[in-house]
Amino acid sequence: MSQVKNELNRRYFIATGLSAAAMFGLPGQAVALTDASARALVDRVVGDINKVIASGKSQSAMIADFERIFGRYADVNVIARSALGADSRRASNGQLRAFTDAFKGYVARKYGKRFREFIGGKIEVNSVRKVKSWHEVLSTVQLRGSSPFDVRFLVSDRSGRDLFFDMIIEGVSLRISERTEIGAMLDRRNGNIDALIADLKNAG
């Protein structure tokens, strides 16, 4: 049972690490989102991720690379606000800015540490379909020494550019998982947003 749990945790962290880079690392598109552009977006992001993984850099350098990608291309404000959830409505503008900066670094460290586990693996994009106002791209993740598993990329251009706003990893939503994690961290600090921000700067 312990071995199975460890394998599931390994899969989740690797897939969420990929999704974090994807969510924060997408350049904008000049045309309306289509099945083809959504699929091309996933192909491009996977290629960019693999370049960093295969760079041979140290872990700290890889994490720094991912954080720069996040800051340059992500709709970080929207993603961070979603992670903070309902508490974002009582936060001041200054607190929201500070939380967003701390959250960006937290995500880079948390998931960037796991990317080396993906060396030797690959993601294959299988299909894409439109769902309401977004597109769902179905892919398969293959890791060395592990059976393949599915990841669904949810892509939207509502922010004015093409971005992943969620990934479903074997039935688990990345966006909801991060909201749950941040919510639990805030609860442990008795709802003190400033304390959460301070601690988030060293978490991950």
Which pLDDT value is given to residue 12?
56
The predicted model scores a pTM of: 0.73
Measure the CA–CA gap between 182 and 141, rounded to whole angstroms.
Answer: 26
Are 170 and 138 a contacting pair, CB within 8 Å? no
Residue with the larger pLDDT of the pair 15 and 115: 115
Measure the CA–CA gap between 149 and 21, rounded to whole angstroms.
Answer: 19
**Domain with 67 in it: what CATH number?**
3.10.450.710
User: In which domain, by residue range, is 24 found?
Assistant: 2-200
What's the number of domains the chain is made of? 1
- Each residue of 34-83: pLDDT tens digit? 999 889 877 877 777 778 877 888 888 888 888 887 776 567 777 889 99
